[in-house]
Structure 1
Amino acid sequence: MQAPSRDIVTLAAGQALTGTATSLLTSVSSLSGAYLAPSPALSTVPVTATVLGALLMIYPASHLMAAMGRRKGFILKAGVGIAGSAVCCAAMVLGSFWLLVLGTFVLGLFSAFGQYYRFAALDAARSPEERTAAVSLVTGAGVAGGLAGPYFGSHALGLFGAVPYANAFLSLSLVCVALALSQSFLSRQLGVTMPAAAGAVPEPTHLGKGFYVASALCACGFAVMTLVMNAAPLSIHRSGHDLHASAIVMQVHFALMYLPSFINPWLAGLLGLRGLTAAGIVASIGGCVLALYPDQGLNLYMLELGLAGMGWNFIFNGGTLLLARTYRESAKTRAQGVNSILVFSANVAASLLAGVLFDWRGWAAVNLACLPLLAVAAWLLWHAGRSIRMPSAPA
């Protein structure tokens, strides 16, 4: 097999550093909000600000990178992350809740760009045959970030002494500096949309039925993972396990969200992209069914969350590669922006619904709600065979 190009390796490093920044932010944003909030009811406002910032930026980010290229786009992203981290660090030192909200909003703008690493991997692939390996390597690098982020959050630099969480945001800014340096090694023209020649007939940017089928498939996979992931710590705690036990379960989940990416090229070669995606649906269904068992022990939680992580990986990676077959190069910017909005919106809705379902009927209800989504994903995958042109040989 051909060795990955410099661009693919650089994108993998960017994905790892982005995952580090995102998981670090996730681990401290709600805690820092609770520390500074003038009222307990406002403690999750910084988290909401991050989500809002990402939602507002996720479509414009696609157009920015089409004009600037992936190299400048991801360096700009890192600069935004440095600025947002500095504002949050200053907010903790000054004890200003609303300055913290502003900083987390800026970090939401930063996080929106992270949705485009999988598409940048498609740009960096030197041939259609290399696409599966490129997406798998770049996505799989996220496992490093999932493990490193919480570590930096708990072992942050001691520059600000006793000021809670200020050091974590300082660490986040340093991660963003490393991100900017790493992405400077990308090719300058990677991902740039070249202007049409004078007098040329504009190519169509229409997004057909196959595009929306593949996008809905990605959205279903992300929604299922988010429902399970957000409710799991609550269920583990309610079952009588401590915070350490919960951390172990979530580490298994994060590891199996990303590690299977390294065998995806082999699986896709064996099963095809639809077979890879179907394996993810089956794994996710298995985890949901196990969650209906009344006596939930720690080992069972690890199995359920491991299957959920693996299911997300296969569905999301398979869906992304199917998506790449549904639009022309002229429609790339619009297609990637629309897909990111659909996936992110499903993620936001699922994160809000997870708490409601768990409070209403517990862990079993959350997983029961996932089963109709997985049934829709299976139907979409079957429909993809008719609406997406499939090659005679597996990708």
Structure 2
Amino acid sequence: MNNISKNMIILAIGQALTTTVVSLLTLVSSLSGNFLAPLPSLSTLPVTATVIGTMCMIYPASIIMGKLGRKNGFMFKASIGFFGGLICYLALFIHNFYILILGTFILGVFSSFGQYYRFAAIEVAKNEEEKHIAISVVTGAGVIGGIVGPFLGGSYAQSISNTPYGGAFIVLSVVCILLAISQFWLSADLGKIANITNSKTEKFKLNQSFYLITLICAIGFSVMTLVMNAAPISLHHDGFNLRDTALVLQIHFILMYIPSFFNPSIIKRIGVNGLISVGAFCSLLASLLSFYPEQTKIIYIVELGLAGIGWNFIFNGGTLLLVNTYSPNLKVKAQGINSLFVYSANVFSSFGAGFLITQYNWKAVNSVCIPLLILVLYLIAIKKVHKFKLNLFS
């Protein structure tokens, strides 16, 4: 097995286990918040704390991995996730909402490192075609976590009689142990920047293309965050039980990641811009379906499924465009800034999801998504991304 394939497989395993943690957390975080929150409108505050934790650490995570490499960075994040899960369990055990917020914030720090699997996947590739394959395999592996996470959450959330949802967080910590073990086998030098200190003095230009692609990535992720975080509460309000909610989220996560395996073939036919456009149309259709009078379980499955496909196409397509907008020596800064912008948007989306779903309804959540997705289609339609010169070295 050559070095590229070995690293690719290990990264795929890491992505799968990371997605297991994230999807499990998505299922039980807002429900745990709803259980402990002093006010209903604060029920998604733990989710928001996770996003804030991610936003605070997303840029430093890029710097840390530039110095230490992907291996040490991903193992470090696994240890953070382990302690975050235990703190959330403690919060539920002693019925303390604010400790739950602390625990979910720490899990946000964990999540910040996980956002760099997409860039690590590209780093193991030697050419453009291998980039498409690598990001396809690594991000596509998330489908495993999308199935396993909600299954574990639904199976163990009520396993400890006096601590609702506590069992799910114990399982989350166990998954983090497995994650740390798996990432030990990554090549030690993967992702390291030998002259990272010298690159600080290099003139760093964020051209207009970088900003537009970052905007597309931010919209793709924030729309998904709005819908995904509001869905468990909307399903709960509509009378669906935890297992129904878990099924809807499982399908959502499956369709967030499994399309990655087909992305290289799709890109060959319609290009990266076409991939992003199809993703925006899928997410737009999902939002429009929220206006259907009777929101059955099947309708929720279709909505969340389309939203998952939309995220995959928009975000992966945006990532592939992004890596051509900066020089190799500046990848740590560029990747960190892109991720920081994306998660700044997610903070508003996460808190907005709680406000919109508790103060208004499911339609209101999706109404916010529609103009954002139209903006993505507009940016792609006028081919702004390709019109700007990527003159990073002048």
TM-score range, shorter chain: 0.7 to 0.9
Of the structure 1 ranges 346-355 and 33-42, higher mean CA displacement relative to structure 2 is found in 33-42
Change in CA separation of 1:372 and 1:166 when aligned onto 2, cut-off 3 Å? closer
Q: Do the aligned partners of 2:151 and 2:246 also contact (CA within 8 Å) in 1? A: no
* 1:169 maps onto 2:169 in alignment: yes
Q: Do the aligned partners of 1:287 and 1:305 also contact (CA within 8 Å) in 2? A: yes
| TM-score normalised per structure 2 | 0.87
Q: Do the aligned partners of 2:51 and 2:350 also contact (CA within 8 Å) in 1? A: no
Tell me the residue number matched to 1:330. Answer: 329
Show CA shifts across 1:10-30 (max 9, x none): 111101111111222333334
Unaligned runs of 5+ in 1: 390-395
* 1:318 maps onto 2:320 in alignment: no
User: 1:357: how far off?
Assistant: 3.8
* 1:138 maps onto 2:138 in alignment: yes
Separation in 2, partners of 1:241, 1:196:
51
| TM-score normalised per structure 1 | 0.87
Q: Do the aligned partners of 2:147 and 2:251 also contact (CA within 8 Å) in 1? A: no
Aligned Cα RMSD in Å? Answer: 3.1
Q: Do the aligned partners of 2:150 and 2:246 also contact (CA within 8 Å) in 1? A: no
Q: Do the aligned partners of 2:24 and 2:150 also contact (CA within 8 Å) in 1? A: yes
User: 1:100: how far off?
Assistant: 4.1
Q: How does 1:65-80 map to 2 (within 5 A)?
A: 65-80=65-80
Of the structure 1 ranges 340-349 and 39-48, higher mean CA displacement relative to structure 2 is found in 39-48
Change in CA separation of 1:298 and 1:87 when aligned onto 2, cut-off 3 Å? closer
Tell me the residue number matched to 1:191. Answer: 191
Q: Do the aligned partners of 1:78 and 1:177 also contact (CA within 8 Å) in 2? A: yes
Show CA shifts across 1:235-277 (max 9, x none): 4455565554444333322221111111011111111111111
Separation in 1, partners of 2:34, 2:357:
22
Tell me the residue number matched to 1:88. Answer: 88
Of the structure 1 ranges 36-45 and 19-28, higher mean CA displacement relative to structure 2 is found in 36-45
Q: Secondary structure at the match of 1:190?
A: coil
Q: Do the aligned partners of 2:220 and 2:315 also contact (CA within 8 Å) in 1? A: yes
Letter in 1 for 2:57: M
Q: How does 1:1-395 map to 2 (within 5 A)?
A: 5-33=5-33, 46-92=46-92, 98-156=98-156, 162-195=162-195, 203-237=202-236, 241-358=240-357, 362-381=361-380, 382-387=383-388
**Rg bigger for which structure?**
1
Letter in 2 for 1:315: I
Letter in 2 for 1:62: S
User: 1:113: how far off?
Assistant: 0.8
Tell me the residue number matched to 1:392. Answer: none
Unaligned runs of 5+ in 2: none
Letter in 2 for 1:348: V
Separation in 1, partners of 2:190, 2:271:
27
Separation in 2, partners of 1:246, 1:332:
39
Show CA shifts across 1:30-55 (max 9, x none): 44455566787876554443333222
User: 1:74: how far off?
Assistant: 0.5
Q: Do the aligned partners of 2:62 and 2:335 also contact (CA within 8 Å) in 1? A: yes
Q: Do the aligned partners of 1:92 and 1:100 also contact (CA within 8 Å) in 2? A: yes
Show CA shifts across 1:360-391 (max 9, x none): 653333333222111211222221121266xx
Letter in 2 for 1:275: G
Change in CA separation of 1:136 and 1:362 when aligned onto 2, cut-off 3 Å? same
User: 1:82: how far off?
Assistant: 1.9
Show CA shifts across 1:160-189 (max 9, x none): 774444433322221111111111111111
User: 1:9: how far off?
Assistant: 1.0
Q: Secondary structure at the match of 1:194?
A: coil
Q: Secondary structure at the match of 1:130?
A: helix
Q: Do the aligned partners of 2:15 and 2:138 also contact (CA within 8 Å) in 1? A: yes
Identical positions, percent: 49
Of the structure 1 ranges 226-235 and 306-315, higher mean CA displacement relative to structure 2 is found in 226-235
Separation in 2, partners of 1:48, 1:221:
18
